[in-house]
């Protein structure tokens, strides 16, 4: 599985063998009060968890950019941790920084969103990849599927380097 969490539009990709299922979940802004911000996060989490399987081999999730100065940084981090908290009960999780995700998709850690979309569409021509959020999720699921031993499109040497630098869980990690 690959997850690109966002307060505005989360991308999800689940690979089951050669089948790639994708979704995007839009989360509208419903106000600036503390309660409204909390409810926005909860409303973002619920449909994501409903779409994802109860158990999985590995989930690869993008970590919020640590130096992003605009927007609701605290809320993005909260969304990330709400998801991680719930996903840990379903299987192992691997964190990926935004530049690592770009390198996994294209071989270039500074690749543009359009480059990531093009690379994932080329690698998975039958998958529904409507935007960069889903493209990011597909690139993360691609890495997770490789780790799990699922046949996937080949990686370039640069992509392979990014893949091997991730902190993959030990095989058969027990679910807590």
Q: Is residue 174 part of a domain?
A: no
Q: Is residue 62 part of a domain?
A: yes
- Which CATH number goes with the domain that contains 12? 3.30.420.10
- Identify the CA nearest to 84 among candidates 45, 140, 55, 132: 45
Q: Is residue 176 part of a domain?
A: no
Q: Is residue 23 part of a domain?
A: yes
CB 2 within 8 A of CB 136: yes
pLDDT tens string 123-146? 999 999 999 999 999 999 999 999
pLDDT tens string 79-108? 999 999 999 999 999 999 999 999 999 999
Question: Domain range holding 74?
Answer: 2-164
User: Please, is 72 exposed, middle or buried when counting C-beta atoms within 10 Å of its C-beta (0-12, 13-18, 19+)?
Assistant: middle
> In the chain, where does DSSP find H-type helix?
34-51, 73-87, 98-106, 113-123, 132-148, 157-164
pTM of the shown model = 0.92
Q: Is residue 21 part of a domain?
A: yes
Q: Is residue 35 part of a domain?
A: yes
Q: Is residue 49 part of a domain?
A: yes
Domains in the chain: how many in total? 1
Q: Is residue 25 part of a domain?
A: yes
The region of weakest confidence among 87-91, 151-155, 170-174 is: 170-174
């Amino acid at each position: 599985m690959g997850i690109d969490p966002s307060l505005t539009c989360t991308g999800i990709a689940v690979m089951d063998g050669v089948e790639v299922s994708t979704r995007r979940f839009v989360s509208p802004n419903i106000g600036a009060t503390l309660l409204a911000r909390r409810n926005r996060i909860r409303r973002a989490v619920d449909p994501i968890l409903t779409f994802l399987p109860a158990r999985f081999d590995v989930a690869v999730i993008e970590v919020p950019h640590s130096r992003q100065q605009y927007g609701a940084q605290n809320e993005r981090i909260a969304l990330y941790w709400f998801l991680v908290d719930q996903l840990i009960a379903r299987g192992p999780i691997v964190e990926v920084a935004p530049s690592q995700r770009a390198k996994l998709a294209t071989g270039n850690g500074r690749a543009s969103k359009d480059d990531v979309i093009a690379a994932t569409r080329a690698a998975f021509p039958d998958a529904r990849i409507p935007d960069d959020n889903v493209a990011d999720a597909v690139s993360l699921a691609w890495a997770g599927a490789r780790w799990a031993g699922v046949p996937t499109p080949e990686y370039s040497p640069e992509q392979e380097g990014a893949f091997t630098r991730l902190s993959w869980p030990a095989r058969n990690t027990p679910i807590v």
